[in-house]
Amino acid sequence: MVKITNNVHQFGYEPAEFLSKKLTFTDIVHPEDLDRIVKEMVAFLKNDIVYFEQDYRIFTKGGDIRWVYEKTILKTDDTGLPTLAKGYLLDITERKLAEQQLRESSEKYYQLFDKNKAIELLIDPNTQKIIKANGAAEIFYGYNEQEFKNLSISDINILSVDKIEAEIELALTEKRDYFNFRHQLKNGEIKDVCVYSGPIIMAGRKVLYSIIHDITDQRQAEKALLESEQKFRSFIETTSEGFLILTPQLDINFSNTAICQLAGYSLTEMQGKSVLVFVTSESRKQLRQQLIMARSHSHLAAELTLMHKNGHHVFIRYKATVMADGNGFFTYITDITERKLKEVELRTLNSAVKHSASSIIITDKNGIIEYVNPRFCVVTGYSEQEVIGQTPSLISTAKTRTELHTELWKTILAGDDWHGETYNCTKNGEFYWSMMSISPIRNENGEISQFVSVSQDITEHKSKHLKMEELALRDPLTGLANRRLFDDRLNQAIQIISYQNRNGIGIIMLDLDHFKDINDTYGHDVGDLILKEVARKLLLSTRKEDTVSRFGGDEFIILLQDVSKVSDAQRVAANILKTLSEPIDVGEHTFSITCSLGVCLAPQDGCIPTQLLKAADLALYQAKIAGRNNIQFYNTGMQQLSESNKHSEQLISS
């Protein structure tokens, strides 16, 4: 006798279509799954298995593809021959889609892997090695993280290696995504497990992502069910799915232990009450609307929010089937709280990155940009499409020191965080300063797979700092280097000579002849204008790498870099003497300025800063004695002459 229930309505078919044999069940099975289903059924029959289950795809009458879960029990006669097949189908399309979405999410957010309460493993399909096990797997199998790293899947799966390889191939080619195995725990205990497994790409390679459900208790319950139809209630009680029998008014006639645990209520507390009491107000509206739909639909499903007895919310998915006599609903409840929380966490993470006030860049391990957030695009002027596939050098400038890049890469490739200031350029050529932090991201093997850069625009702060620094190191009147900056550069130049055996340096000390007379006659305002013009001419008479400084009054000192012979300094000094002798116009007055210059060289005249400054000062003193408007190079005889002149001056004054 063949009997088809009204359950087929959910797929758009009528029982009569099958009973009349105008339509067979194989006609609606997806052709890619049909061969597998037949082979599995043949294997079940060949091995005298009277209970089996399968997942496969079917076509609805409207042409849609739906995933179904089939559970079938074969009844046999005294000779062991099957006499009756009794089974049912459940639409599991949403679960399949959710599992697929979870696999895709885990690729990008594998850091959620460890937090999942479900038992999860990552497996290398080539070596069968267990790449990573999450915390739930460690608790279930009894192995710690280090022990798992030395295990293959064959160490926990009691199947032979050849059969395991065949099952892995099915998972890799996605011809099948669920498997029933027997796994051995560390303590030797054997557990029945249902494994949902499929390939994902992680860190550039294909691995198997497996979710393991402990179905040992379920298997035991199913075995008891096969022994007696009376144990069906026991099966309902032991399943991890919540189960309710509801009246047409949605009152609870029966609730299993799983739903009681999920809601926090006892069987007595739930019995006879409306299911609407246990859900949020928004979910009540959904259920009432679906109750109206039940008049024309035999299957209902929705995601609802259950109110736990202690006050917190539990996210569930329910599937209800209208009883054949219309006297209520069989309802299955699945806890989807974990999935919902993950979705919220992922949305929060995405939102935080997207709306961050900091510029965020994610690159691969080679520095190729994979992602930039909107703030980066606002700051730099580049669109996301323009920078994906490029490197951060797109915004770097030539002014960024090579040493900084070297230090940066050395630090992050060692797995450490790098922090520092970078000088960058926008798409339209504007420069800006950033305070940047770069951190490495490691994959499940502990290898660096990506880098995350977070930076803030500090241009305004940096500009203020540089201005303050400039004021501290520059003469306020002429803008030339002051004594502090000159001393710093002189010390650096002497160190280079000492440690790198480079060419020497020259020091030119000069002051303007009879400048005091100009100040006394025309006033300090005119004198200041003349000093500014002198400063301009000195900069024109020297090279970019040289340092022109004003020590005060009309005294200037010039540091000449890379001086290999006396003639190098002589040429610069002569050029200064000639340039400053040219007339200077200030307002309605024209002035002819001369100057006296004293020159010394390092290392021949010494390598101590104070010694060199004293030598240049003695040479300048000699230039003044020689009648001003001339150049004098330091020699050792000037020290004796200076001391003799000082002695003569003392005798005259006494």
* CB-CB contact of 374 with 381 (8 Å): no
Decide if 573 contacts 631 (C-beta within 8 A).
Answer: yes
Strands 119-123 and 82-91: unpaired
- For residue 271, which phi and psi values (nearest 5 degrees)? -60, 130
Strands 119-123 and 130-133: antiparallel
**Helix residue spans in 29-92 (DSSP H):** 31-46
Beta strands in 5-129 (DSSP E): 51-59, 65-76, 82-91, 119-123
For helices 483-500 and 459-473, the axis angle rounded to 10 degrees is 90
Task: Give the HSE-up count for residue 444: Cα atoms under 13 Å, Cβ half-sphere.
Answer: 29
Active-site position among 475, 554, 605, 617:
554
| Alpha helices (H) in 474-545, listed in sequence order | 483-500, 515-522, 524-541
**Packing angle between helix 93-108 and helix 337-354, nearest 10 degrees?**
40
Contacts of residues 516-520 at CB distance under 8 Å and 24 or more positions apart, as own/partner, are: 518/591
Check if 27 is active-site.
no
Output Rg (C-alpha) for the chain, integer angstroms: 44
CA distances from 275 to 135, 175, 272, 279, 436 (A): 35, 40, 9, 7, 55
Q: Which amino acid is at 6?
A: N
**DSSP 3-state of 606:** coil
536/542 Cα distance (integer angstroms): 10
Q: What is the DSSP string of 1-13?
A: -----GGGGGGT-
Active site residues: 554
